[in-house]
Chain A
Amino acid sequence: MAELRFEGVHKRYGDVAALRGFDVAAGDGELLVLVGPSGSGKTTALRVAAGLDEVSEGTVRIGGRDVTDVAPARRNVSMVFQGFALFPHLKVADNIGFGLRARGVGRAEAARRVAEAAGVVGCAALLQRSPTELSGGERQRVALARALVREPDAFLLDEPLSNLDPHLRSQMRVEIRRLHDRLGATMVYVTHDQVEALTIGDRVAVVNEGIVQQVAPPDDIYRRPANRFVATFVGSPAMNVLPADFRDGSLAAGPFRVPIRPPAAAAGAARLEIGFRPEDLYLAASGEEVPARVALVEVAGSDAFIHLDVDGVRLVARAGRDVRPMVGETLGVGLQPGRVHVFDADSGQTIE
């Protein structure tokens, strides 16, 4: 296994810049998740790492070696594609052993390693089957077995779970995580699903417009977002954001007063915003805090998301299983003071 590093990578397709100074590294044995909306450049980054797309500028290193101009086959990485990319005409064993045979590994040696890899991902019973006979989860296992049979320096996984149904998805997510821990493999894992990103990654790189917005462990991404994009992209429902300014020694945002003193960094910012997550907006039965009218209640199992109308501003609060207000009811809402994020409204950067 080895470290995989992007250094100032630019990728342009004609006039369109897919990557614009992409800088991030998956450490040796680390599972790094690239997460971002569609078109953010995360899949392009993966293809650049694999060598399927050439970089326009910058460097890709694997294990310290500059592989920017190295052919895909010589990078010793393996990839799991979104649609699994299994050969429909080859048996599972031949699919897993495809790369070994292509590289001239003997039949017996290849069969031994295929059986071993299939055992690791739990698809040993499928070796003589055809991919067309397999379920989505089984295909996923075969694709994983094929990725690990060559013992690559790094695994590249491109939305590996997006073709599976939700139940299977959470199950395979756990399995990939356990596989990673068992192999100590360097993995770069691309997804657009922020829940998947937070649950599976050692660290998460949030990507937008071809730039890494923040790289941090999942908890830090959630609790200390570096900017407004990360704050609103990660978390569901999204963080509430309101325009704000300092007045009389506290931060005023709509009807809310946040008792924090202006930080030095805020002095330069012309306009400010505050953000707070739905769970940091607490509800009170009476209207003693800020009065809010219930506009919509979304029940999501144990939680419910309460959409509120506060002075004409729409906010979302998360309520536990015992709180189910009626639409049209008036509640009191308040902010947990320590949980408020302050952004420079122009740059979007978080102000500490």
Chain B
Amino acid sequence: MRLGPDLRGLVGLLLPYAVGLVALIVLPAIVTFGLALFEWDLLRPARFVGPANFQELLGDEVFRISLRNSLTFIAVAVPLRLLGALILALLLHPRFRGAGAYRTAVYLPTFVPDVAYALLWLWILNPLYGPLNLILGAAGLPTPSWLTDPDAARWGIVLMSTFTIGEGFLVALAVRAGLPSQLYELAELEGARPLHVLRRVTLPLMAPTLLLLLFRDTVYSFQVNFVPALLVTDGGPPPYATTYLPLFVYREGFEYLRYGYAAAATVMMFVVTGLIVYLQWRVIHRWRRQFAI
């Protein structure tokens, strides 16, 4: 096959990415699917066990707790993250003095490296000298033991995740900026109050994007709590208050050397994610038809 110069350039640009994608994601994914049917601990040769790993997972209480923790986390954190990104984007959309600095401040926590971010929160959440409890205490509010009380620890992880909303914020900001200003001028002339404009103009026009963000964030949130759960709460307080699916997989694989079992858990996680992606496709498809976008 002969390629034109444009196509050759395109292939040249895509090739490194494609190689990385195949080597780091596609191949390990295929291996994971196969591995889920084996028992393997790195020491002895792998042994084919068929669906035994999956059968064990269904009866594993820790897996059930991890799955429930993950789904609860998503149900609480995703709406909060999305709402935060949307509200901040709408507040920081108008041009005013210092808007750029505020926008940067919103985005900044998102690109702090995960480990540094986790260590920072280990300090913030410290019940004795952490600034969060100092502030809560000074305001006369209850000061939970963030790292030892199960509910408080779960909320702590949610709280951590609500500050890394930079990507959703940027997308919402860009979409809002792309809405025609004439529509807003018209609404102003027609006497529409701000809440009416928000409800009847801004939200409906942003809805397709917001839905996309919602589902994207749902998938993302399955994985996002791995580092905090490992470094800040260590999966606890005991026994498994903040053991989410990624941490469960990590423990089974790298601590208990049950690679086949961990792979099976990963496949289950993939299936749940796939269900959500399917839901995403269905809902967005309907939105698109409704608005002919």
Which residues on A are within 8 Å of B, measured CB to CB? Answer: 50-52, 72-74, 77-79, 81, 83, 85, 87-90, 98-99, 102-103, 130, 132-133, 150
Contact = CB atoms under 8 A, between A and B. Distances in A.
A81 B186 CA distance: 8
A276 B142 CA distance: 88
Given A85-B180, A85-B182, A89-B291, A72 B189 contact: yes
A183 B292 CA distance: 35
Given A99-B192, A102-B192, A85 B186 contact: yes
Among B191, B192, B201, B293, max chain A CB count under 10 A is at B191
B189 A79 contact: yes
A90 B186 CA distance: 14
Would you list the 5 A-B pairs with minimal beta carbon distance, nearest first?
A99-B190, A73-B191, A102-B192, A85-B182, A89-B204
Interface string B151-192: 000000000000000000000000000001011011111111
Contacts of B293: 88
A258 B190 CA distance: 57
A133 B182 CA distance: 20
Nearest to A104: B191
Among A72, A77, A150, max chain B CB count under 10 A is at A72
Given A88-B291, A103-B190, A132-B292, 19 more contacts: A51-B189, A52-B188, A72-B189, A73-B192, A78-B190, A79-B186, A79-B189, A83-B180, A85-B180, A85-B183, A85-B185, A85-B186, A87-B183, A87-B201, A87-B205, A89-B291, A98-B192, A102-B196, A133-B292
B182 A83 contact: yes
Contacts, number: 67
Contact of A98 (B185, B187, B292): B187
B193 interface: yes
Contacts of A98: 186-187, 190, 192, 200
29 contacts: A50-B189, A51-B189, A52-B189, A72-B185, A72-B188, A72-B189, A73-B188, A73-B190, A73-B192, A77-B189, A78-B189, A79-B186, A79-B189, A81-B182, A85-B185, A87-B183, A87-B201, A89-B205, A89-B291, A98-B186, A98-B187, A98-B190, A99-B189, A99-B192, A102-B191, A102-B192, A102-B200, A103-B191, A133-B292
